[in-house]
Amino acid sequence: MKFINQLGAYFLMLRGMFSKPENPKLYWKEFMHQCAEIGLGSLGIVAIISVFMGAVSAVQATYQIVNPMVSKVIIAQIVRDTVIMEFSPTLICIVLAGVVGSKIASELGNMRVSEQIDALEIMGINTKTYLIMPKIAAAIVTIPMLVILSMFLGIWGGRMTSSLSGALSVQSYDTGLMMGFIPYNVLFALMKAYTFSFIVTSIPAYYGYHVKGGSLEIGRNSTKSVVVSCIVILLADYILAALLL
Amino acid sequence: MIEFKNITKKFGEKLVLNGVSHVMQNGKTNLIIGTSGSGKTVLQKCLVGLFEPDQGEIIYDGISFTKMDGQERKILRQQIGMLFQGSALFDSMTVEDNVMFPLDMFTKDKYLVKLKRVNEVLERVNLIGANKKYPSEISGGMKKRVGIARAIVLNPKFLFCDEPNSGLDPQTSMLIDQLIYDITREFNTTTIINTHDMNSVMEIGDNILYLKDGQKEWTGNSKDIIFSENKNLNAFIFASEFLQDAKALRMMEAQKK
Ligand SMILES: Nc1ncnc2c1ncn2[C@@H]1O[C@H](COP(=O)(O)OP(=O)(O)OP(=O)(O)O)[C@@H](O)[C@H]1O
Ligand SMILES: [Mg+2]
């Protein structure tokens, strides 16, 4: 029952978000600000994770290919496909649920508790449109870019470890990358990225915007929002895979 | 003018406002007084729609606020300025940006024009030189004054102040009272002030609503209050011996005239 109520409130919030901005210029400024916060703000962590992700999958693929009949070039293919289809979109977005999501939830929660949202509301501003919409829009614009970047970095990470460990030369790795490459996979990954970027912003925004009580609730709601976002991402991951593959 | 009838508000089982009716006049400083926890803040929030009253009607200049939809309320609210009890400054913005925010949102003025207006109101609340500070870097009393500056920067038609001078020293407190009073007269504002500051009650009490246990216990102006025989009101207002003496003195003076 509580779940249905919350789901209803979540969709009401999303619907309430669509209203005419009181002053488009300020909304644009807020959008750009959020792009910087979300996009540039998580660039570092995304880069680090991606390189290691690619490196680790290359090492593990090498470890698993013991059969001398199997060409080692396949390592490049394994790295490429796991990074593009799963690691970059899903893993990165799960990390972003923690990085971006918890920030959104606690920021909005703090604004709610300290009555800043009420203050905006009293000025005659639609706070759902002003506070939530730019965040979701910025995430939808920047997170897929981060995911694409992460794909490149991941594949590069695999390439580097493969050549450093001597498992595979750079030339063979590159040949492997080109073998059996399906462009649709990238499209599939992007569709996942768009869906997940909506999830990692709208769910924390819901939890932050609806904080009741004091600062203790902010922390609680922010944790809850990360947990729920992660679960929903995995669920959506499964559904998208079942539908689109 | 804001008229409200029979406002009732419950939180769970707790009845906070019990059928309060009153008229808040324009060009006057309308005070809501009462002990801590008597429902002043809740009443103000009901009037602006931050809380939905369980019963009753609120009328702004003859138009029912209760019946308005979200969009209509939004438009009305652009004429409302509100100071929150906890100031509610935007902590990601400097003092200057806080005060400029309503101007940015609702005017098309040039930056310099807006800046001039911001400095003007900051000067009126006696706050110069704090422009570039963040809310976390200023004192509680300063936050209050920034909150007031932000509330009045657009010359609102309806001004709500929740304890504008709690946490201020007596001198600044009087200055703020005087400022609110002047603005009210100058722009014919409907001003509603929550307070338990006795100075304010005596100095700017044009129209006082005394709340007790969620009900309207007494109403009148600062002159009436001296002669009031309401026991609860007297116990609340003239709580100390010092204030009782002041009351006696005032009564004597009034009788001489
Ligand atoms: N959001 C809320 N949920 C539940 N109860 C509330 C809520 N807000 C206020 N109350 C209750 O309503 C009563 C009146 O509170 P209110 O804040 O209006 O008092 P006040 O007159 O403004 O007091 P003060 O002078 O201390 O600011 C209190 O008993 C409070 O516990
Ligand atoms: Mg109060």
Q: Contact B106/A22, CB-based, under 8 Å? A: yes
Buried-exposed string B160-171: b where 16+ CB fall within 10 A, e elsewhere: bbbbbbeebeee
Q: How far is the CA of B71 from the centre of ligand 1 (A)?
A: 28
Q: What strands lie across the sheet with B190-195, from one edge to the other? A: B80-83, B158-162, B190-195, B28-33, B207-212, B215-220
- Taking residue B43's Cβ as centre, other Cβ atoms within 10 Å add up to 26
DSSP 3-state percent helix, strand, coil across chain A (nearest 5): 85, 0, 15
Residues 6 or more apart whose Cβ sits within 8 Å of residue B10: B16, B54
Q: Which helix (H) or strand (E) holds B106?
A: helix B95-106
User: What token pair was written down for A234?
Assistant: 């995995």
Nearest CB to A118: which of B84, B102, B105? B84
Q: In 10 A of CB B249, how many CB atoms?
A: 11
Ligand 1 atom at shortest distance from the alpha carbon of B51:
1
Residue A71: both structure tokens together: 């060409």
Is the pLDDT reported for residue A166 higher than 90?
no
Residues B17 and B42: their CA atoms lie apart, in Å, by 8
Range of the domain at A179: 23-244
CATH number of B1-79+158-217: 3.40.50.300
Residue B107 DSSP SS3:
coil
User: Looking at residues A85-95, what average pLDDT do you find?
Assistant: 95
Written as six digits, the tokens of A206 are: 């819901």
Residue B25 DSSP one-character state: P
Ligand at shortest distance from the CA of B40: 1
User: Residue B46 is encoded by which pair of tokens?
Assistant: 């009901």
Ligand 1 pocket: which of B17, B40, B196 to mutate (most atoms within 8 A of CB): B40
d(CA B193, CA B183): 13
Q: What pLDDT, on a 0 to 100 scale, did the predictor assign at position B198?
A: 86
In a domain, A199, yes or no: yes
Percent of residues in chain B assigned helix, strand, coil, to nearest 5 = 45, 25, 30
> What value does the CA radius of gyration of chain A take, rounded to a whole number of Å?
21
Q: How far apart are CA A192 and CA A244, in angstroms?
A: 10
Residue matched to tokens 């947990």 = A227
Percentage of chain A surpassing pLDDT 90? 86
Residue (of A236, A234, A232, A229) closest to A97 by Cα position = A229
Three-class secondary structure of residue B205 per DSSP:
coil
A121 vs B50, B86, B105: nearest CB:
B50
Report the pLDDT averaged over residues A71-81: 90
Strand partners, A102: none
Q: Are B226 and B238 in contact (CB under 8 A)?
A: no
Query: At how many degrees (to 10) do helices A133-165 and A24-38 cross?
Result: 20
pLDDT digits (tens, 9 = 90+) for B36-81: 999 999 999 999 999 999 999 999 999 999 999 989 999 999 999 9
Residues 6+ away with beta carbon under 8 Å from A125: A22, B74, B105
Give the containing element (helix H, strand E) for B15.
strand B14-24
CB B80 within 8 A of CB B156: yes
Nearest by CB to A124, which of B50, B77, B90? B77
The predicted pLDDT at position A5 comes to 93
CB pairs under 8 A between A and B: 52
Average pLDDT over residues A29-53: 96
pLDDT tens-digit profile of A42-52?
A: 999 999 999 99
Contact assessment for residue A50 and residue A149, using Cβ atoms and an 8 Å cutoff: yes
Look-up of token digits 């509610």: B88
Which one-letter DSSP state was computed for residue A42? G
Asked if residue A46 is part of any domain, the answer here is: yes
How close B12 comes to chain A (CA, Å)? 15
Assign A69 a pLDDT band (cuts: 50, 70, 90). Answer: confident
Cβ separation B86–A22 shorter than 8 A: no
Q: Does the distance separating the beta carbons of A126 and B74 come in below 8 Å?
A: yes
Q: Give me the mean pLDDT over the A45-60 stretch.
A: 95
Q: Is the pTM of this model over 0.95?
A: no
Least confident span in A127-131, B134-138, B164-168: B164-168
Q: Is B104 on the interface with A (CB under 8 A)?
A: yes
User: Does residue A111 form part of some domain?
Assistant: yes
CA dist B212 and B210 (Å) reads 7
- Taking an 8 Å cut-off on Cβ atoms, the answer to whether A122 and B76 are in contact is no
ipTM surpasses 0.90: yes
Structure-token match 């019990």, residue found:
B18
Q: What is each CA distance from B121 to A187, A218, A242, B27, B99, in whole angstroms?
A: 55, 34, 61, 20, 9
Q: B244 pLDDT band (50/70/90 cuts)?
A: confident
| Beta carbons of B50 and B1 less than 8 angstroms apart | no
| Residue B33 near residue B196 (C-beta atoms within 8 A) | yes
Number of domains in chain A: 1
Write down how long chain A is: 245
Q: What is the pLDDT of residues A203-226, one digit of tens each?
A: 999 999 999 988 899 999 999 999
In order of A29, B44, B150, the CA distances from A36 in angstroms are 11, 38, 27
- Interatomic CA distance for residues B193 and B167, integer angstroms: 15
| Segments of chain B assigned to CATH 3.40.50.300 | 1-79+158-217
Q: How many Cβ atoms from other residues are within 10 Å of residue A243's Cβ?
A: 8
Number of neighbouring beta carbons within 10 Å of residue B39:
25
- Whole-number Å distance, alpha carbon B215 to ligand 1 midpoint, is 14
pLDDT at residue A167 greater than cutoff 90: no
